[in-house]
Chain A
């Protein structure tokens, strides 16, 4: 019973949405509207669920003194600070429980939530993303090696595209005569991106779309039940 009701709901919702896509009239249009409204409400609650899960999992790791448990304290403290500041004084345009917090904003130059967002969260997030550049540089030295035909092809293409995406590309190949303009790096890069890349991407997109159709049908028909949390 515990799994039958969710399966039944998934079946009904899936079929209604599917039919409404082809017959967008009463009653299907109405059902679709109701279901999509429910989806938006459930999505909002999913954020609350995510927050509660974040607190629970981090508290568990701290209490168990799991490896690197101190980092979990930092997560919870940061989460709590943003939550409290947001609740007390709100964000740029929205007031909090204690109002707009003009005095604090005057001292800091922004409300505490906005201040932390701009001067802590933003640089930290950008730094995390930027760290990729270091790993790419290290991997370029270590892994991008001439070996097989496929790896050589990938390497040559990557070099052309990478170079073509820089401001040096035009300068480096501007000496090539107009009759051979297609050999200039920016044009070669555009060709690679527009034809071989797009052809491969299309194939991936079509395969993925067919996969999504298959997976959706399996869920609607109750064959795929992993979303219920069981192992069947």
Chain B
């Protein structure tokens, strides 16, 4: 009987928490709070890498994620493409995750709205699609890019794509940005593209995976900047001077974080009261 009451209470509490969380996320979306974020050194470092690369440089953006992490990583992809295009970099998109290729198409389509006909497929950017194999793919790209990607996603031959005319291996790439939701992903790029071929690598990951990559941001520049989660995407938008989906998304995320902190406090008060009650009951029992 007592167990049934506890179970019902737990279920009721859980439902209330879920409902309040929905409100904590929904209300700031409907009524934005206009909260501003500030850029941090890790984001600035990634920004600086792209900013300092000369115009016309061939670069790689690797879309190593799928729709499950689109909320955090897609705004980064959009911001990085925009930045690279502002600097007139030639973007070679590829994916080590099966759905990454579609994520790339969507990100390019989004940024294309701003640039219009200024950026041409095959000349300013290309999508080489998905290739399985992780780190081995990057090693093979160090020998010959064409053998790994003989065609792009539109089935155009490597030799017929203007942007790839003078690119034989990955060694000619000026920087790599891997937007990574797990394995294979950023770690493979750090170990191979940077470790083996000396190419600067920057990365974007979900907030939960970012701490694991911090050791690579060091004096050896194994990682030239790291964007961790939606906040970093919002910081990047701030550095580019526009308010995108990440900046808008920071409102509900911040409120949800505060709500979770309030739950931690409430949970501790609940436990403290229960402990006090138990202690008092024990004292009464012992006379």
Contacts and interface: CB of A to CB of B under 8 A. Distances in A.
Interface string B18-33: 1001000100000000
B157 interface: no
Contact of B36 (A143, A167, A190): A167
Which residue, of A129, A162, A201, has the highest number of chain B Cβ atoms within 10 A? A129
Interface string B249-287: 011011011111101101110111000000000000000
B14 interface: yes
Contacts of B37: 167
Task: Indicate the member of B25, B68, B251, B256 with the most A CB atoms within 10 Å.
Answer: B68
Contacts of A205: 212, 215
Contacts of A117: 67, 99, 102
A1 interface: no
Given A40-B136, A145-B267, A201 B17 contact: no
Contacts of A137: 17-18, 21, 256, 259-260, 263
Interface stretch (B45-53, B83-91, B148-156, B163-171): B148-156
Interface of A is mostly: helix
Interface stretch (A4-12, A65-73, A191-199, A217-225): A191-199
Contacts of B13: 141
B172 to A, nearest CB: 19
A93 B155 contact: yes
Contacts of A159: 261, 264
B257 A94 contact: no
Interface residues on A, range: 35 or more
B264 A36 contact: no
A125 B66 contact: yes
B92 to A, nearest CB: 16
Contact of A163 (B67, B68, B257, B268): B257
Given A93-B155, A201-B212, A140 B260 contact: yes
Contacts, number: 149
B239 interface: no
Given A126-B68, A138-B17, A163-B261, A40 B155 contact: no
Interface stretch (B56-64, B111-119, B137-145, B197-205): B137-145
A141 B231 CA distance: 24
Q: Which of B21, B133, B139, B153 has the most CB of A within 10 A?
A: B133
A163 B261 CA distance: 8
A134 B16 CA distance: 11
B69 to A, nearest CB: 6
B254 A134 contact: no
B263 A167 contact: no
A196 to B, nearest CB: 10
Contacts of B41: 190
Interface in A161-183: 162-163, 165-168, 170-171
Given A146-B272, A168-B258, 19 more contacts: A36-B136, A36-B139, A40-B136, A43-B133, A93-B154, A117-B67, A122-B70, A126-B68, A126-B70, A129-B71, A137-B18, A137-B263, A141-B17, A142-B267, A145-B271, A167-B35, A167-B36, A170-B36, A198-B211
